[in-house]
Amino acid sequence: MKVTIDEVARKAGVSRATVDRVINQRGRVRGETVERVLGAMRSTRNLNEVSSQQGQGNSYRFDFVLPIARTRYFEYFSKEIQTSENIFALMQADVHVHTVPGFDPQALADKLIEVGEESDGIAFVALDHPLVRAAVKTLRARDLGVISLISDVSYSERLAYVGIDNRAAGRTAGLLTGRFLGRPEHGEVAVFLGSHRYRGHEEREAGFKSMIRERFGQLTIVERPEVLDDDERSYLIASELLSAHPHLLGIYNIGGGTSGISRALQEKEGGKKVVFIAHELNASTRKLMLEGWVDAIINQDIRQEIYAVVEMLLNHNEGRPVNQGIQMPKVEIFMSENTY
């Protein structure tokens, strides 16, 4: 008789996602937790006999709605979802990815309503806009699980939010910037904002500014127009900034566009002297950090977020508390010496 991931998770006292990470050696699991999971497997049946519950219970369709961005971040997100399809099948979930134009609240609201016709649960990167809030309210009136992902939506009836504490992330960026600069007597640091329609971006901006005011008041913040997570737009705005402020000390990039800003720094004499803090560790940003163009990356574990979404939607559909067994992502800091 084969055992299920649920049985192993229950016996080990961990989540389904943790069992998956141990089975597939995905890392980031504490040693004692690994031993507990392996012990649970050995005490039930052989490791190779862990299988799905397909055909033994309900199966659900869950949908992710992601923006089409002019950076590669959401490409990584989509690929991570697709490579986890087999694990989702073990969890009784059929997961689909949809895309919408970035920064278009009407398109996002329309897509949510459209996808909701056939879905058992939706996760979406939220734009903080009345049209989006209205769409969420419509879906929740049908008792459909709706989760905001990465960036939250204000005054909404969404089921839950999955993502890091964005204000804490911004304060972390402010602290890193100030400490890297070594408390100069005065100077300028620039903030690049993706879009005010992302509540998460505004929260990061507020956190950064509050930290600079509290701990590094000698620094002046230079604000730039929205870069809309666009590498080319970020490059042009950064080039203009560096020309107008030749003695700039630091840059904090709140959202996408890190590659564009780095290109502008590479064209500036002494560009590596500018402290550059950015978000999201991936192949592109890792390379820039190893080359010395980015000093630190503030990251969120997208795999953990994806699994959290699926588990929360399963909990909702099966009548369990939505946060049962869920570990929320935390703010992570990466530098060149710990990017492995």
User: Quick one: CA torsion of 224, 75, 124, 5, rounded to 10 degrees?
Assistant: -140
Tens digits of residue pLDDT in 143-172: 999 999 999 999 999 999 999 999 999 999
Residue 93 in any domain: the answer is yes
Give yes or no for residue 53 having a pLDDT over 60: no
| Same domain? 293 vs 188 | yes
Alpha carbon distance 180, 171 (integer Å): 14
Same domain, 289 and 210: yes
Q: What b/e string do you get for 230-240 counting C-beta neighbours within 10 Å, with b at 16 or more?
A: bbebbbebbbe
294 and 307, same domain (yes or no): no
Percent of the chain with pLDDT over 90: 71
Q: Does some domain include residue 273? A: yes
In a domain, 324, yes or no: yes
Does the pLDDT value for residue 194 go beyond 90?
A: yes
* Same domain assignment for residues 222 and 150: no
In a domain, 334, yes or no: no
Check whether 35 has a pLDDT greater than 80. no
Please indicate, yes or no, whether residues 194 and 122 belong to a single structural domain of this protein: no
Residue 199 lies in a domain: yes
192 and 101 inside one domain: no
* Same domain, yes or no: 324 and 267: no
Crossing angle of helices 105-116 and 130-140, rounded to 10°: 10
* Dihedral pair phi/psi, residue 276, rounded to 5°: -125, 115
Strands 332-334 and 296-299: antiparallel
How far apart are alpha carbons 299 and 319 in whole angstroms? 32
Q: Are both 208 and 262 inside the same structural domain?
A: yes
Same domain, 305 and 295: no
| Domain CATH for 231 | 3.40.50.2300
Predicted confidence at residue 72, as pLDDT, reads 81
pLDDT tier, 46 (very low <50, low <70, confident <90, very high otherwise) = very low
Instruction: Read off the pLDDT of residues 208-241 as tens digits, 9 standing for 90 and up.
Output: 999 999 999 999 999 999 999 999 999 999 999 9
- Determine, yes or no, domain membership for 340: no
Is 339 within the bounds of a domain? no
Task: Give residue 295's pLDDT band: very low, low, confident or very high (50, 70, 90).
Answer: very high
Residue 202 predicted with pLDDT over 70:
yes
Indicate the number of domains in the chain: 3
DSSP three-state, residue 28? coil
For residue 19, being part of any structural domain is answered with yes
Q: Which domain holds residue 216?
A: 166-299
Between the alpha carbon of residue 238 and those of residues 96, 110, 221, the distances in Å are 36, 34, 15
Whether the per-residue pLDDT at 199 is higher than 80: the answer is: yes
Q: Indicate if 67 and 45 belong to the same structural domain.
A: no
Provide the sign of the torsion angle of the four alpha carbons 63, 166, 135, 317, taken in this order: positive
pLDDT tens track for 56-79: 557 899 999 999 977 788 988 999
What would the pLDDT profile of 14-25 be if each residue is shown by its tens digit?
888 788 777 776
Quote the mean pLDDT of the chain.
Answer: 90
Average pLDDT over residues 305-317: 93
Mean pLDDT of the 262-283 span: 96
**Strand-pair category, 219-223 with 187-192:** parallel
Ordered DSSP codes for 233-283 = HHHHHHHHHHHH-TT--EEEE-SS-HHHHHHHHHTSTTGGGSEEEEE--SH
The predicted structure's pLDDT at residue 88 = 84
- Measured CA to CA, the distance from residue 9 to residue 17 in angstroms comes to 9
